[in-house]
């Protein structure tokens, strides 16, 4: 059975403002120093699926840019545009329907477009194992990341060894814990970070939609029936925006029985906010992550990021700051408040400062 890559690229990346902008969210930025995150992701998936079998699901408004950025690697008609953001259940259902209707069935390897993975060989290894398991078992497979610290920013997957040593059984998906609980999880060894990466057959996940999310399934069928017909674009444009907004985790994963998990230990980071850049790039002897044209004096544990090498960041006597400079905005933020950068986007929406978003 053929393997398809599905890259979910619909996010806003507001915790990376002002680098991440409405017109060019985080997944379209080069934060790794190699390529845009979406292209890094496509290149990573190309060891698991052929590049001609990789899809990207993104906002309709970013579709043209995505086609442009992936040109020469991915097929333009595999860049699927969502007329509205309806969360991950809709996104995955749409891709599953596309595969079923236009390419018969296949294994979907579904990954977010904006994660960083240090050990790509191990990622390939784990994913290829997941593909085989999904193919033979017909079950839902997810990748749980082996926790390295008591992180309160991720959801966790409680899991247990199974009789088949090729995979573990998922007992429960749990919400982001407080620090104490996260420490317990870490010590117990029974919990993995929920990475949002999934492997299953298109036909399998559509069966789960039919059973657990029948209203969404009905919309997907409507869209699926229009696929390949003249009315495809119009039906998607009308139907997609009214699909209920729910994540695949809430809608299916937490409610499905018999979900399998493979443990991933490949230097994963979801690059959720600026402080993640420390993990991506490493820091210098003063604890600074310097991705800018910067001159620093008596400055420690800061993250410096500049999008324009001709502009200088000068820091003196400061600690634990994020300083990010674009051509029109400079952000100065306490590193412990990295999660709250999205507040700027929330507060400036609809104001005179909207042009900075």
Work out the angle between the directed axes of helices 87-103 and 214-226 (0-180°, nearest 10): 40
E-strand ranges in 38-149 read: 54-59, 79-82, 107-112, 116-117, 141-145
Q: How far is the CB of 280 from a copy of itself (least distance, A)?
A: 21
* Cα distances (angstroms) measured from residue 2 to each of 47, 237, 240, 302: 13, 29, 27, 46
Site string for a copy of itself, 270-299 (x = CB under 8 A): -------------------------x-xx-
Residue 14 or residue 195: which is nearer to a copy of itself going by CB? 14
Q: Does 218 bind a copy of itself (CB under 8 A)?
A: no
Q: Which stretch binds a copy of itself (CB under 8 A): 30-38, 139-147, 164-172, 311-319?
A: 311-319
131 burial (CB, 10 Å; 0-12 / 13-18 / 19+) is buried
Q: How far is the CB of 269 from a copy of itself (least distance, A)?
A: 22
Q: Which stretch binds a copy of itself (CB under 8 A): 175-183, 244-252, 253-261, 326-334?
A: 326-334
One of 165, 228, 328, 350 touching a copy of itself (CB under 8 A): 328
Q: Which stretch binds a copy of itself (CB under 8 A): 44-52, 153-161, 255-263, 308-316?
A: 308-316
Tokens of residue 168, six digits: 């573990």
Cα–Cα distance measured from residue 193 to residue 51, given in angstroms and rounded to the nearest whole number: 28
Q: Which stretch binds a copy of itself (CB under 8 A): 108-116, 140-148, 259-267, 338-346?
A: 338-346
| Nearest alpha carbon to residue 128 among 51, 20, 48, 212 | 48
Residue 2 or residue 295: which is nearer to a copy of itself going by CB? 295
Q: Which stretch binds a copy of itself (CB under 8 A): 35-43, 159-167, 227-235, 325-333?
A: 325-333
Residue 79 or residue 333: which is nearer to a copy of itself going by CB? 333
Cα–Cα distance measured from residue 280 to residue 267, given in angstroms and rounded to the nearest whole number: 9
Q: Which stretch binds a copy of itself (CB under 8 A): 77-85, 189-197, 254-262, 339-347?
A: 339-347
One of 31, 57, 99, 321 touching a copy of itself (CB under 8 A): 321
Q: Does 354 bind a copy of itself (CB under 8 A)?
A: no
Residue 175 or residue 334: which is nearer to a copy of itself going by CB? 334
| Nearest alpha carbon to residue 302 among 344, 270, 274 | 274
One of 23, 233, 343, 349 touching a copy of itself (CB under 8 A): 343
Residues 11-30 that bind a copy of itself (CB under 8 A): 18
Residue 137 backbone phi and psi in degrees, to 5: -95, -20
Could you please report the per-residue DSSP string of 173-222? EEPPP-HHHHHHHHHHS-EEEEEEEEEEEHHHHHHHHHHH-HHHHHHHHH
Residue 275: how many CA atoms within 13 Å on its side-chain side?
A: 13
Is the bond preceding residue 18 a cis peptide, omega within 30 degrees? yes
- Helix H or strand E segment including 89: helix 87-103
Q: How far is the CB of 23 from a copy of itself (least distance, A)?
A: 16
The residues of the shown chain that bind a copy of itself, judged by CB under 8 A, are 18, 295, 297-298, 310-318, 321, 323, 325, 327-334, 336-337, 340-341, 343-344, 347-348, 353, 356
């Amino acid at each position: 059975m053929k393997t398809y890559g599905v890259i979910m690229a619909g996010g806003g990346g507001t915790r990376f403002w002002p680098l991440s902008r409405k017109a060019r969210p985080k997944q379209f930025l080069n934060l790794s120093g190699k390529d845009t995150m979406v292209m890094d992701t496509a290149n990573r998936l190309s060891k698991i699926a052929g590049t001609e079998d990789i899809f990207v699901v993104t906002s309709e408004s970013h579709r043209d840019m995505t086609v442009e950025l992936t040109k020469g690697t991915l097929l333009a008609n595999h860049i699927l545009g969502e007329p509205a953001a309806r969360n991950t259940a809709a996104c995955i259902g749409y891709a599953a329907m596309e595969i079923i209707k236009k390419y018969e069935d296949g294994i979907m390897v579904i990954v977010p477009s904006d994660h960083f993975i240090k050990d790509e060989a191990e990622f390939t290894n784990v994913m290829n194992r997941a593909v085989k398991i999904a193919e033979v078992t017909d079950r839902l497979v997810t990748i749980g990341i082996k926790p390295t610290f008591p992180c309160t920013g991720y959801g966790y997957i409680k899991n247990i060894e199974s009789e088949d040593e090729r995979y573990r059984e998922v007992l429960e998906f749990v919400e982001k814990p407080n620090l104490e609980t996260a420490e317990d999880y870490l010590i117990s060894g029974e919990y993995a970070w929920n990475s949002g990466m999934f492997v299953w057959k298109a036909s399998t996940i559509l069966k789960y939609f039919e059973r657990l999310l029948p209203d969404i399934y009905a919309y997907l069928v409507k869209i699926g029936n229009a696929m390949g017909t003249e009315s495809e674009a119009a039906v998607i444009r009308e139907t997609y925006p009214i699909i209920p907004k729910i994540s695949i985790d809430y809608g299916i994963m937490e409610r499905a029985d018999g979900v399998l998990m493979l443990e991933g230990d490949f230097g994963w980071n979801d690059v959720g906010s600026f402080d993640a850049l420390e993990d991506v790039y490493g820091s210098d002897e003063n604890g600074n992550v310097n991705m800018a044209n910067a001159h620093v004096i008596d400055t420690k544990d800061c993250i410096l990021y500049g999008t324009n090498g001709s502009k200088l960041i000068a820091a003196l006597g400061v600690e634990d700051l994020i300083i990010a400079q674009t051509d029109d905005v400079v952000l100065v933020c306490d590193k412990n408040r990295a999660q709250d950068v999205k507040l700027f986007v929330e507060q400036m929406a609809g104001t005179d400062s909207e042009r900075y978003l």
